[in-house]
Structures are given as C-alpha cells and as structure tokens.
Amino acid sequence: MNGETIELKTGAGRVYRCYVSRPKSAKAPGVVIGLDIFGFRQVFFDIADDFAARGYLAAVPDYFWDVQPNESGTFRGQYKFPTMVETTGATMAAVRTMAGCNGKVAVTGFCVGGNTAFIGAAQQGADAAASYYGTRLHTLLDEVDAIKVPTVLHIAEHDETYPDEERDRILAAVKRNPNISAHVYAAPHGFAHSHVDEAAGNLAHERTFQIFDKLK
C-alpha cells in the first residue's frame, strides 16, 4: 500500500479511521472515496492508491464507525446514512486543509458510496463528483437541482439493488440538470470495483477523470 490509516474526527468530535494515499505532486486536488456495503478494506485502499498515482490526494473514510456488520459480514440494513454523510463531509473538510492539497476536493463512491457522492455534490460543496451505481439514487432525486458542479453517474443497466423502472426515473430526472451526465453500462452492479467488468470499468473511470482532472 502507498498510504496510511490515520484518525480524523467528525464535527461532533467522534473519531473514525481514514485511509489516506498521497501523490508525488506538491499540490493536488483531493478526492474522498465512499465505501460499499462490505466496508473499509483493501480494495478501497487500492482504489485510493490508484487515485494517488494519477495525481490526487485520496482519502477513504470509514463511515460505518458507529455500527456493527450483520451476520453476513456486511453493513446492509445496519448503516446510518446521516452518519455516512456527516463523515464524508468531515473528511472533505479535512482533506482541503491537508498539506499537498490544492484546495479542491472531488467526491466519489461505489454502491452505497455512490449515494454519498451524490449528496457531496448537492449539499457539501464538492468541486466535482462521480457516483458509481449508487443504490438509493432514486430516493435522492429531490437533490438534482441543487447540484451545481460537474457530476457523473455511472449506472448498471440492470442494477440488482433497484428495479429498472427506478433506473429510468433517475435518468429522466437528471436530464434537467446540465451539470449532471449519466451513463448506463451493460455490466453488473459493482462493475468498476468488485464484480469487475474491465471494459465498462475503464470507460467509467475515463469519464470520471475527464471531470476530475480539471481540478488540477
């Protein structure tokens, strides 16, 4: 691993873990990376290291710090979305002030992290956002008009976490906001990090970096 796990604090002073991977460049944009339902683990450290190699100060907060996994070892049905949002915002604020950050911070996330990325753009002052197959985007459509920064949504064609009708609602809703681009991939949920479809994942990442690289 390129980075290290440090401790950060929420606005209320609660301590949580955060993996931070630093680039070689002296001044770089930050990126906060949201976890999936399986939690704080190596695949996300690798993603952060990949971002660092591309010139970003990357941070992965453990926003499941206030809950325990269920019997299957995941946080499905256990997580507290307000905690996830609060922790994401606290991490964005911390990254902005870290040595080596140029003051710009993007937010991204996978699975449930795709939802926090969307809120990061709508409510928390992110400079750009990329949501990878957010599981609850169809419940967050009231936030569409609040997004004022470049935001890309990567959506599985037939996502196992919601019906196709909800996919269509998402696509229809975001069309009214020119800051949001949405792309559908003929690949499964998790295609860019866990159930990897290399072609789809590479195309999605290319689209993410098209907007994130403008923060450099």
Active site residues: 159, 189
User: Cβ distance 154 to 183 under 8 Å?
Assistant: yes
8-state DSSP, 58: E
Count CB atoms within 10 A of the CB of residue 198.
10
Cβ burial, residue 122 (10 Å; 0-12/13-18/19+): buried
Structure-token pair, residue 72: 């299957």
**DSSP bridge partners of 60:** 19
Alpha helices in 17-57 (DSSP H): 42-53
Question: How far apart (Å, rounded) are the C-alpha atoms in residues 34 and 112?
Answer: 8
DSSP string, 150-202: -EEEEEETT-TTS-HHHHHHHHHHHTT-TTEEEEEESS-TTTTTTS--HHHHH
**DSSP bridge partners of 6:** 18
